[in-house]
Chains A and B, each alone.
Chain A
Amino acid sequence: MDTVKILHFLTTPWVFLLWTSFLKSFIFLNLTIIVVSVTVFAERKVSALIQDRVGPNRVGIPLTLFGAKKDSFFWGLGQMVADPIKLLTKENFVPAGVNKFYFWLAPKLVMIPPILILAVLPFGSTLFGIPMTIAEMNVGVLYIFAISSLSVYGITLAGWASNSKFPFIGGIRSSSQMISYELALGLSVVPIFMICGSLNLNEIVDWQIKNGWLVSPYWPKGFELSLLLHPSDLIHALVAGLSIQRFALWIPLLISFIIFLVAIFAETNRLPFDLPEAEQELVGGYHTEYASMNFALFFLGEYAAMFAGSGAIVSLFLGGWSCPLIPDGSHGWFWGLVNIGVFFVKVSLMLLFMIWVRWTLPRFRYDQLMKLGWLGFFPIALGNIFLTALILAFIHH
Chain B
Amino acid sequence: MAIIVNRPKLTFVERCYLPSILAGLAITWKHLKRALFKKGIVTMQYPEEKWDANMPEWYRGAPTLVSDEHGKDRCVACQLCEFICPPRAITIKPMEIPEGDQWRKVEKRPEEFDIDMARCIYCGLCEEVCPEQAIYLRKDYSITGLNRAEMVHDKKTLYKLGGVMKGLVFKWNELK
Contacts and interface: CB of A to CB of B under 8 A. Distances in A.
Interface in B98-124: none
Interface in B32-85: 32, 34-36, 40-43, 45
B41 A360 contact: no
B87 to A, nearest CB: 29
A264 B41 CA distance: 32
The interface centre, meaning the residue of A46, A258, A360, A361 with most chain B CB atoms within 10 A of its CB, is: A360
Contacts of A357: 21, 25
A143 interface: no
Interface of A: 46, 48-54, 258, 356-357, 359-361
Contacts of B29: 356
17 contacts: A49-B36, A50-B31, A50-B35, A52-B34, A52-B35, A52-B40, A52-B41, A52-B42, A52-B43, A53-B41, A53-B43, A54-B35, A356-B28, A356-B32, A357-B25, A361-B21, A361-B24
Contact of B35 (A53, A258, A361): A53
A143 to B, nearest CB: 31
A264 to B, nearest CB: 15
Nearest to B34: A52
Contacts of B21: 357, 360-361
The interface centre, meaning the residue of B27, B31, B35, B40 with most chain A CB atoms within 10 A of its CB, is: B35
B25 A356 contact: yes
Given A50-B31, A357-B25, A360-B21, 17 more contacts: A46-B32, A48-B35, A49-B31, A49-B35, A50-B28, A52-B34, A52-B35, A52-B41, A53-B35, A53-B41, A53-B42, A53-B43, A54-B43, A357-B21, A360-B27, A361-B21, A361-B24
Contacts of B45: 54
B32 A54 contact: no
Contacts of A53: 35, 41-43
A356 B36 CA distance: 14
Interface residues of B, number: 17
Contacts of B25: 356-357, 360
A168 B136 CA distance: 50
Interface string B8-32: 0000000000100100110111011
Contacts of A50: 28, 31-32, 35
A48 B32 CA distance: 8
A18 B32 CA distance: 46
Contact of A360 (B18, B24, B35, B36): B24
A354 to B, nearest CB: 12
A270 to B, nearest CB: 14
Nearest to A362: B24
B49 to A, nearest CB: 11
Nearest to B21: A361
B119 to A, nearest CB: 27
Closest A-B pairs by Cβ, 9 of them: A49-B35, A360-B28, A360-B24, A50-B28, A53-B43, A52-B42, A49-B32, A50-B32, A50-B31
Contacts of A361: 21, 24
A49 B35 CA distance: 5
Contacts of A46: 32
A393 to B, nearest CB: 28
A54 B49 CA distance: 14
Nearest to B40: A52
A48 B21 CA distance: 20
A54 B18 CA distance: 29
B28 A52 contact: no
B24 to A, nearest CB: 5
A180 B21 CA distance: 21
The interface centre, meaning the residue of B28, B36, B43 with most chain A CB atoms within 10 A of its CB, is: B28
A359 B45 CA distance: 22
Nearest to A359: B28
A21 to B, nearest CB: 40
Nearest to B45: A54
A225 to B, nearest CB: 32
A261 to B, nearest CB: 11
The interface centre, meaning the residue of A50, A258, A359 with most chain B CB atoms within 10 A of its CB, is: A50
A61 B42 CA distance: 26
B37 to A, nearest CB: 10
Nearest to B23: A360
A54 B42 CA distance: 9
Contacts of A356: 25, 28-29, 32
Interface in B128-160: none
A273 B47 CA distance: 37
B24 A52 contact: no
A81 B18 CA distance: 37
Contacts of A49: 31-32, 35-36
Nearest to B44: A54
B16 to A, nearest CB: 9
A260 to B, nearest CB: 15
